[in-house]
Amino acid sequence: MGLLLAGPALAAAQDAAPATREEVLAQTRREKQTSLTPYRSNALERGMRLAEEHAIPILGRDGFYWKGGSLTTGSGFTYAGGWRNRRLFDRQGAVDFWAGRSLKGYWKVEGRFDVGDPVNGRLVAGAYANHYSYPEEWFFGLGPDSSRDNATSFHLTNTIVGGRAGVRPTRMLTVGGGVEYSTPEVGPGHNRRLPPIDERFDESVAPGLFRSLNFVRTNAFFEFDYREPRNARQGGWYRMVASRYDESTDTHSFSRFDADLRQYASILAERRVLALRLAASTSTPANDGRIPFYLMPTLGGHDSLRGFHDYRFRGPHAILAQAEYRFEVWSGLDAALFYDAGKVATERNDLNFKNLETDYGFGFRFNTDNGTILRIDAGFGSGEGKHLYIVFGDVF
């Protein structure tokens, strides 16, 4: 029998024997009434409430804020603080000023102003200025034959001021362009485990080394995005950028074209995804000038050749092909097997699929519908050691 019979029997034993079921229940309730206690939340509940109602919302708030992550590949974990206001012009404009420093001593300050959405969300524009100091950038030499044994470090500082604008004629398509002025400078690196760049390389093999150069970069881009959902399981994302770097003395001016094509296909209720990426970059010096080595594309690291060290390969031309097989373990956690192949080239004619550097590995992605929050990848097979990457955000 249920409590309506059994439970009240206890109360009945302690109180005057009730004559009806209704009395049994009433007695039990009166009994409870004498020992009511206020509801007290437990530690887990209090902790989660604190996180959900206070800590997490603060991360997204206007005014002073802090954030973590990385400044650039290899910068190490960065802590940053800033001030922002995204409520300008009835929430169609935003300003954001922040400064961050990494555990390796990289630092950056930036100010941004963005306006968006004035015409049904189809137009975006913005201006920005930043200054950064990256003291431990890696350089192994140029071209596909660079040696890991030649690892050096350099210190890159730069100041950039620019603006950009784009229009979205359709939900999937964005076209636009921008212009920016930059003043990069390269000096000896501060990595204590590596010799500074000038101990092994000079300007003949590291163009732009120790020169103060000023660039005006103009670019135009085209982007077509039909991924579904944003944490892609179907569809594709294609981006092409044509840039021109005009250096003030015209000795290091060049143009560059980058293409990044990503395609996603899935089966089994989108819980098994094949993700493919083909990226290429090619540069052409102007007036027989030289392209600064620090503005050349690089391969190696968490977002390209994952079996290799960050910035392992550098050259004026680069090609990268990546394939990932992703499978959902639980909602919000995918595992992945990957294979990367790519190379840099000093001549455009060598930009082909011959003699590619390759690696493979596996990883995990903690994700939401809007993208990957945290990624862990372990890369092998390069012949240059094993590499473990723990990264905020997806690889592609």
Partner 1 sequence: MSSRSRVLPLVSFALVTVALAIQPISSQSPRFYPDDPIGRDDDMALDASKVVPIEDSNGYDFVANTFANPGVRHDIRAQNVNTVDEVPDSSWFVNRIGHRPMSTAEIVRGPDRLESISLDGWKVSGGKSSGLQAGFRMTDPAGQIYQIEFDPPSNPEMATGAEMIGTAFYHAFGYHTVEVYIAELDPSKLEIADNARINDPLIGERRRLTRRDVEDVFRRSARLPNGRYRVLASRFAEGAPLGNFRYYGTRPDDPNDIVAHEDRRELRGARVFGAWLNHDDSRGVNSLDMLQTEGARRYVKHYMFDFGSIMGSGTVYAQRHRAGNEYIVEWAPGWLTLATLGLYTRDWMHIEYPRVPQSVGRFEANSFDPAKWRPEYPNPAFENMRADDAFWAARIVAKFSEADIRAVVEKARYSDPRATEYIVETLVERRKRVLDTWLTGISPLVDFALSRDGQLTFANAAVEASVATAAGSYRLKWSRFDNATGPAGAAVEATSLEPRAVAPAELLAGSQFVQVEIASLHPQHTTWATPVTVQFRRQADGWALVGVTRLK
CB atoms within 10 A of CB 235: 17
348 binds partner 1 (CB under 8 A): no
Report the C-alpha dihedral over residues 120, 371, 308, 239, rounded to 10 degrees: -20
Q: In this structure, how many other beta carbons lie within 10 angstroms of the beta carbon of residue 315? A: 25
Query: Of the candidates 15, 69, 83, 86, which one interacts with partner 1 according to CB under 8 A?
Result: 86
10 binds partner 1 per the rule CB under 8 A? yes
Quote the CA–CA distance of 192 and 54 in Å, as a whole number.
41
Q: Any contact of residue 87 with partner 1 (CB under 8 A)?
A: yes
Q: Say which residue the tokens 């404009």 belong to.
A: 93
Number of residues that bind partner 1 (CB under 8 A): 67
Looking at 129, 240, 335, 341, which residue binds partner 1 (CB under 8 A)? 335
Q: How far apart are CA 2 and CA 378, in angstroms?
A: 57
Which residue's CB is nearer to partner 1, number 240 or number 335? 335
Contact 308, 359 (CB under 8 A): yes
Stretch that binds partner 1, among 48-56, 71-79, 141-149, 162-170 (CB under 8 A): 48-56
Q: What share of the chain is helix, strand, coil (3-state, %, to 5)?
A: 15, 50, 35
Q: How far apart are CA 153 and CA 197, in angstroms?
A: 5
Q: Tokens 């077509």 appear where?
A: 224
* Using rule CB under 8 A, residue 67 touches partner 1: no
In the block, residue with structure tokens 């190379």? 343
Q: What is the DSSP string of 39-69?
A: ----HHHHHHHIIIIIIHHHHT-SEEEEEEE
The Cα 125–Cα 138 span in angstroms is 34
Centroid of chain to Cα 331: 21
- CA dist 276 and 341 (Å) reads 12
Shortest distance, position 269 Cβ to partner 1, whole Å: 4
Taking CB under 8 A as the binding criterion, the range among 17-25, 72-80, 199-207, 375-383 that sits at the site for partner 1 is 17-25
| Smallest separation, CB 385 to partner 1 (Å) | 24
> Which residue, 8 or 135, has its beta carbon nearer to partner 1?
8
List binders of partner 1 among 129-168 (CB under 8 A): none
Instruction: Using CB atoms within 10 Å of the CB of residue 273, give its burial: 0 to 12 exposed, 13 to 18 middle, 19+ buried.
Output: buried
CB atoms within 10 A of CB 308: 26
Query: Residue 199 interacts with partner 1 (CB under 8 A)?
Result: no
What minimum distance in Å lies between the beta carbon of 114 and partner 1?
14
Q: Select 120 or 204, whichever has its Cβ closest to partner 1.
A: 120
Instruction: Tell whether residue 91 is a contact of partner 1 (CB under 8 A).
Output: yes
Q: Judged by CB under 8 A, does residue 45 bind partner 1?
A: yes
Between 87 and 348, CB nearer to partner 1: 87
Q: What CA–CA distance (Å, rounded) separates 263 from 274?
A: 8
Name the residue nearer to partner 1 (CB basis): 39 or 147: 39
When asked if residue 16 is in the footprint of partner 1 (CB under 8 A), the reply is: no
Instruction: Pick between residue 30 and residue 348 the one whose CB is nearest to partner 1.
Output: 30
Token digits of residue 235 = 């569809």
Sites for partner 1 among residues 255-274 (CB under 8 A): 268-272
Residues present in the chain in total: 396
> Which two structure tokens, joined as six digits, stand for 236?
């594709």
> Mutual orientation of helices 21-33 and 6-14 as an angle, nearest 10°?
70
Q: What's phi and psi for 238, nearest 5 deg?
A: -125, 130
- Of 35-43, 144-152, 280-288, 376-384, the window that binds partner 1 (rule: CB under 8 A) is 35-43
**Among 106-114, 218-226, 332-340, 383-391, the segment contacting partner 1 (CB under 8 A):** 332-340
Contact between 1 and partner 1 by CB under 8 A: the answer reads yes
By CB under 8 A, is residue 385 in contact with partner 1? no
Q: How far is the CB of 141 from partner 1 (least distance, A)?
A: 38
Nearer to partner 1, 249 or 368 (CB): 368
The least distance separating partner 1 from the CB of residue 340, rounded to whole angstroms, comes to 18
Binding site for partner 1 (CB under 8 A): 1-10, 12-13, 17-22, 24-26, 28-30, 32-33, 36-45, 48-49, 51-53, 57-58, 60-63, 86-87, 90-91, 121, 268-272, 325, 327-333, 335, 337
